[in-house]
Structure 1
Amino acid sequence: MKIDDDFRVLVVEDEALISMLIEDMLADIGCKRVDVAPSVEAALDSLTKSAPDFAMLDINLNGTRSFPVADALASREIPFVFLSGYGAQGLDQVYRDARVLQKPFQLGELETCLESALG
């Protein structure tokens, strides 16, 4: 997969170690611009400053669901994937067709997910 230098990814993840691992994986596939937000508020704030090309959202952020971020992304037609240790179980019915990348995931799974989301 070839990613251009301007490709930006927003990672919404409350666990610092996991967000660092995701950043490393994204760097391994050529993503040079990664923004990390540990909460819904930080993610929504990030979206007011820049528009990512793709986003990765942990479903559960310290007990708060990331659905407001998903709604904001969907309204701007920005592709995203949910991240979860429980698969699609934590999703509300409205997101039943959303992509879910189950943690822990491998680099190849992330790459496949990106390719699928971006067509």
Structure 2
Amino acid sequence: MTDAPLLSGLKILIVEDDVIIAEAMSDSFVRAAATVIGPAFSVRQALGLIGETRPDAAVVDINLNGELAFPVADRLRADGVPFVFATGFDASEIPEHYATIGHCSKPVDPAALAEAFSWLNRKPL
């Protein structure tokens, strides 16, 4: 690892309905020098944030208080924004067309999420 912060300059969208989990993720990303967008607690809020500021990456909980976040996943995918699902859903419950999307089972280690996005800041040789 270099002396540069892990996620320096990156904008990370957090889509998570649990305030405590969202805060832990946010703190971890900020410690890694990222700018946090959100957290968004609903699909509508997440789509609004994406419309305001294009994130470099995102973490998406699938179940937002009973509302499925797949419209957010579809928007991120259409915009070419890398993201991972951080969810209590089992991988078998996620629709097949999201099979290539990373899936982190809750409870998620926020520091591991920050590390997972570190490749975005690697410069080609």
TM range (shorter): 0.7 to 0.9
Assess if the C-alpha contact under 8 Å between 1:59 and 1:83 holds in 2. yes
Residue in structure 2 matched with residue 113 of structure 1 by the alignment: 116
Determine which of 27, 33, 37 is the counterpart of 1:24: 27
Deviation at 1:64, TM superposition (A): 1.3
Assess if the C-alpha contact under 8 Å between 2:15 and 2:59 holds in 1. yes
Assess if the C-alpha contact under 8 Å between 2:7 and 2:114 holds in 1. no
Assess if the C-alpha contact under 8 Å between 1:38 and 1:61 holds in 2. yes
Larger radius of gyration: 2
Q: Percent identity?
A: 32
Assess if the C-alpha contact under 8 Å between 2:13 and 2:59 holds in 1. yes
| One-letter identity of the residue aligned with 1:4 | S
Structure 1 runs (4+) greater than 6 angstroms displaced: none
Ranked by relative contact order (alpha carbons within 8 Å, sequence separation 6 or more), the top structure is 2
- Give the SS at the match of 1:3: coil
Residue in structure 1 matched with residue 36 of structure 2 by the alignment: 33
Determine which of 32, 42, 45 is the counterpart of 1:42: 45
C-alpha distance after superposition, 1:50-101 (max 9, x if no partner): 1000011001111111110010011110101101124423311111121011
RMSD: 1.8
Deviation at 1:107, TM superposition (A): 4.1
Partners in 2 of 1:18 and 1:52 — Cα distance?
A: 19
Partners in 2 of 1:47 and 1:86 — Cα distance?
A: 24
Deviation at 1:13, TM superposition (A): 0.5
5+ residue gaps, structure 1, are none
| One-letter identity of the residue aligned with 1:92 | P
Assess if the C-alpha contact under 8 Å between 2:6 and 2:114 holds in 1. no
Q: In the alignment, does 2:2 pair up with 1:4?
A: no
Q: How many residues align?
A: 117
Q: In the alignment, does 2:94 pair up with 1:91?
A: yes
Q: In the alignment, does 2:61 pair up with 1:61?
A: no
TM-score if structure 1 supplies the norm length? Answer: 0.86
Partners in 2 of 1:112 and 1:87 — Cα distance?
A: 22
5+ residue gaps, structure 2, are none
